[in-house]
Structure 1
Amino acid sequence: MNLEVITTGDEIVSGITLDTNFHWIAGRLTELGFNVGFHTSVGDNRELILNALEVAGKRSSVVIVSGGLGPTPDDLTAEVASLFFGVPLELNKEALYMVEERLREQGRKFLEVNKKQAYLPKGATVLKNLWGTAPGFQFENKGVTFFFLPGVPKEFKAMVEEYVIPYLNKRCPNRDVYRVRTIKTFGLRESEIAERLRGIERKGIKIGFSPSFPEVHIRVVARGKEVDSLISETVNDIASRLGDCVFSTEGETLEEVVGKLLFQRGLTLSVAESCTGGLLAHRITNVPGSSNYFNRGVVVYSNESKVEILGVPEEMISSFGAVSAEVVKAMAEGIRRISNSDLGIAISGIAGPGGGTPEKPVGTVFIGMSHGKGTESKRYLFKGSREEIKILSSETALDWIRKFILNDV
């Protein structure tokens, strides 16, 4: 059974809005074992939408259309669908009641323009929208099932789960099992990973590489009747070949992995940041439950703040510079001392595009770690834009924490 997704909207085809609906539904349906064969994006244009429906109707078994069901003049989907199916557009009383009910629940006044959302092709099955005001609808035409759903991501996702997936499950109950595992790595280039994994191919397994700066992700895909043991065996083999550059075999973010390790070992962490401007703390606190292990983060961008908040000696900054091993170690010790944390991390560097010297070019970053056994620092020379250098700095700091806990705690 071939599935096709059509996303509509000028904002999609002009690049103003990212097509997150297709990104989500493609992944969701694929993980459930369905085959998404085609994807089409069209603007708010009657002729283009009609053409997309005509093409989809000839090559796919189920077509899912997103967007164009609102009350404004550029919402054309229901009108064009009526033309495509060769039936009149009529005021659907069930849909009208749904629109009125939803507006009442939201404390909004029903306007004449809202009535447009209740005009559907004659014979359509109304799909109640519990998450917004635009009803969806389903239509059978020449053996092809069409679903028309709102384009608002929250509403689209909810209605796919409510209507589309149950329909597909009922229609294809005995499809192959589909399994995906995502292995995330940091510290190796894609070519280096490919070299280490040479010859790892197995029947029934597909391996793909997906660079996601500054990481490389490896997707292991298996489809069949009994694939769990096969995919686990492949993942374990990949992890063994790549060593500690693998930080997750379950698709977790690096900050999630670090947070889990800190929590499991009962450790607390505080950070002092200069060139990253709070990015490291931001990533750490993106993880729910991070208050269990994250004590505090400070941005000490100026030399004065390093002295006043962390107690870095002025003469040290004068002698070695703010971007130096000596200063970053003093920063790490300072944040650990004032927070009484088990681990103190500090970052100081030159993110660019200016500020570099022959001795310390743009991209020079020092990272310091203070812990119960002492204080260490490492020097790095990162390449890239200002934003990329900041991301690399935060990623490297997180990875150092991960490896330290695994190897030394």
Structure 2
Amino acid sequence: MNTLVPYAEILSQGDEIVSGEIVDSNSAWLSQRLVDLGFLIARHTAVGDRLEDLVSVLQEISRRADCCICTGGLGPTRDDLTAEAVGQAFSLPLKLDPAALLMIEERFQKRKQRMPESNRKQALLPKGARRLDNHWGTAPGFYLTAEGCHFYFLPGVPREMEAMFSEYVEKQLPYLFSLPRSMRVVIHVNGMGESKIEALLKDLVLPPQARLGFHAMPQNIRLKLTFPSEFEVPDQEAIVSEICRRLGKAVTKIETNLVGVQEESER
């Protein structure tokens, strides 16, 4: 694992995702939020509704990641297997959480409906897990650690997942990790292809702390430079200036972003 920048992974569960029936927008949303917090996103993984596959991937993630956000599989039906998979992966028996059950029952009562017996399954949480109350839906989430990895299990419904991430996960992570603030510089390049840009930057030597990535958009190419916050500003500006010198008039905009503080300049 990286001792300076914590590694995070995102795990999405559901046959509807791996089959392409729905687009996994949750992973993109979570990646953006985690990167803004200072994490390095190592992997996105999608797994169908097979218990043995879920158990295996959870064990793999626990051995290589510092944090994992898992979405989906918390519903009341037979193909909602997340809690059971976690229990098997880490030898944690499932226990009925009375408070979770009460919240689910009350949600049905507000609709003037009787809770189906199948929803009782949603109140079964792995032993030692901390419940994450869902005030936006039925399925509670939960948090636990395994092999040093911090796992958060959230519903797959985007509205519920986003609300719970903002309410619980985003607030807790800064207390669990020493999160470095990163400076990101995005250089917009118009009228020049990736291969041409690569050729012009081929012999550009970056310090090991800096990362350069390419993002091809329909209207332009975006070069993304990431620097640790302690990177000297004059050195950062020198690198950006050298890239702009090499690419010339093809550079149309430069954006600078530090954990939500954004500046941009038109060229």
In structure 2, the residue matched to 1:93 is: 98
In structure 1, the residue matched to 2:181 is: 177
Q: Structure 2: 5+ residue runs without aligned partners?
A: 1-5, 257-265
Q: Larger relative CO (CA 8 A, sep 6+): 1 or 2? A: 2
- Secondary structure of 2:255's partner? coil
Identity of aligned residues (%): 38
1:237 deviation in Å?
4.2
Number of aligned positions between the proteins:
254
2:133 corresponds, among 100, 118, 128, to 128
Decide which moves more: 239-248 or 17-26. 239-248
CA contact (8 A) 1:129 1:136 kept: yes
1:136 deviation in Å?
0.3
| Counterpart check, 1:213 vs 2:224 | no
Change in 2 beyond 3 A, CA 1:101/1:200: farther
1:202 corresponds, among 191, 203, 206, to 206
In structure 2, the residue matched to 1:193 is: 197
Change in 2 beyond 3 A, CA 1:90/1:230: same
- Secondary structure of 2:185's partner? strand
- Secondary structure of 1:250's partner? strand
- C-alpha separation in 1, matches of 2:232 and 2:13: 36
- C-alpha separation in 1, matches of 2:107 and 2:237: 47
- C-alpha separation in 1, matches of 2:56 and 2:188: 41
Q: Which has the higher helix share?
A: 1
- Secondary structure of 2:76's partner? coil
1:117 deviation in Å?
1.8
Q: How does 1:356-395 map to 2 (within 5 A)?
A: none
Q: Name the TM-score, length of structure 1 as normaliser.
A: 0.55
Change in 2 beyond 3 A, CA 1:188/1:129: same
- C-alpha separation in 2, matches of 1:217 and 1:205: 16
Q: Which has the larger radius of gyration?
A: 1
- C-alpha separation in 2, matches of 1:195 and 1:108: 66
- C-alpha separation in 1, matches of 2:87 and 2:62: 14
1:228 deviation in Å?
4.9
Decide which moves more: 201-210 or 147-156. 201-210
- CA deviation digits over 1:146-170, x for unaligned, max 9? 2211112232233233322333211
CA contact (8 A) 2:105 2:115 kept: no
- CA deviation digits over 1:39-83, x for unaligned, max 9? 322111111111112222233333322110012221111122223
In structure 1, the residue matched to 2:250 is: 245
Q: How does 1:256-405 map to 2 (within 5 A)?
A: none
Change in 2 beyond 3 A, CA 1:239/1:132: farther
- Secondary structure of 1:6's partner? strand
1:244 deviation in Å?
4.3
- C-alpha separation in 2, matches of 1:197 and 1:219: 13
| Counterpart check, 1:53 vs 2:47 | no
Q: Name the TM-score, length of structure 2 as normaliser.
A: 0.80
In structure 1, the residue matched to 2:259 is: none
Change in 2 beyond 3 A, CA 1:225/1:91: same
Which residue type is aligned with residue 247 of structure 2?
L
Which residue type is aligned with residue 134 of structure 1?
A
CA contact (8 A) 2:108 2:115 kept: no
CA contact (8 A) 1:177 1:226 kept: no
